[in-house]
């Protein structure tokens, strides 16, 4: 679906005389992500075909999904019940995070913006790291969290490169890609004042108890 479905939809849009198309990218920098990451390879494959069509193609990138990573109910990064902050790498590797609702709001504005031209539009609620996230949670809640290192970047690389089925280690692929793909050098955060992405600090204030 990620490849054939998108190409079919974009082709139908072209045949119907549609002016522009926004592929389902919504990720970190696809074109600088690790070559073997299957979820990003499929997006690049679809984008290469779609970019050849007679369409104005607008690519939206956003880093990782902030709310999916940091929702306190999922305990992916911070487990308040156990008092633990989980991380990969050394904790200082930087990556971009953006809320899903903010991505949708920006994309909706971009889709109808008559001044927008074909190209890549990156937004980022925050450029951060695992250690910054854990420290921000500590500041917001007034609690001290134990650090749990789930593996180094080298260990992640070994896991993903040695896996016979890359889809069987998707979690490792996502974390490896997030820690090794450059953050956005330029963003379109200020393009629409009413669709500016939410920062990490503001999101944590919304979802976590105060100290």
Q: How is 105-164 classified by DSSP, letter by letter?
A: HHHHHHHT-TT--SEEEE--SEEEEHHHHHHHHHHHHT---EEEE---HHHHHHHHHH-S
Q: What is the pLDDT of residue 1?
A: 64
51 Cβ contact partners less than 8 Å away, ≥ 6 residues apart = 57
Q: Which two tokens stand for residue 10?
A: 């974009």
pTM for the structure as a whole: 0.94
Angle, CA 3 vertex, CA 164 and CA 11 arms, to 5°: 165
Classified by CATH at the fold level, domain 4-207 comes out as: Rossmann fold (3.40.50)
Q: Which two tokens stand for residue 108?
A: 């909706």
> What DSSP state is assigned to residue 180?
H
Q: Are strands 94-98 and 64-65 parallel, antiparallel or unpaired?
A: parallel
Cα 175 to Cα 150: distance, rounded to the nearest angstrom? 11
Query: Which residues make beta-bridge pairs with 57?
Result: 21
pLDDT values of the chain reduced to their tens digit, one per residue, 211 residues: 678 999 999 999 999 999 999 999 999 999 999 999 999 999 999 999 999 999 999 999 999 999 999 987 777 899 999 999 999 999 999 999 999 999 999 999 999 999 999 999 999 999 999 999 999 999 999 999 999 999 999 999 999 999 999 999 999 999 999 999 999 999 999 999 999 999 999 999 999 988 6
């Amino acid at each position: 679906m990620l490849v054939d479905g998108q190409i079919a939809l974009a082709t139908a849009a072209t045949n119907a005389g549609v002016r522009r198309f926004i592929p389902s990218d919504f990720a970190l920098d696809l074109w600088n992500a690790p070559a073997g990451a299957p979820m990003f390879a499929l997006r690049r494959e679809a984008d290469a075909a779609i970019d050849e069509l007679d369409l104005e193609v607008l690519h939206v990138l956003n880093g990782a999904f902030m709310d999916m990573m940091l929702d306190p109910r999922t305990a992916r990064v911070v487990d308040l019940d156990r008092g633990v902050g989980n991380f990969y790498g050394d904790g200082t590797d930087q990556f971009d995070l953006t809320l899903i609702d903010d991505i949708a709001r920006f994309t909706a504005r971009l889709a109808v913006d008559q001044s927008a031209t074909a190209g890549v539009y990156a937004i980022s609620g925050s450029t951060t790291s695992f250690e910054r996230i854990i420290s921000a949670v500590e500041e917001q809640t007034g609690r001290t969290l134990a650090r749990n290192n789930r593996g180094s970047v080298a260990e992640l690389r070994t896991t993903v490169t040695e896996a016979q089925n890359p889809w069987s280690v998707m979690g490792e692929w996502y974390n490896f890609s997030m820690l090794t793909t450059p953050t956005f050098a330029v963003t379109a955060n200020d393009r629409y004042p009413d669709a500016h992405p939410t920062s990490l600090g503001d999101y944590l204030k919304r979802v976590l108890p105060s100290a």
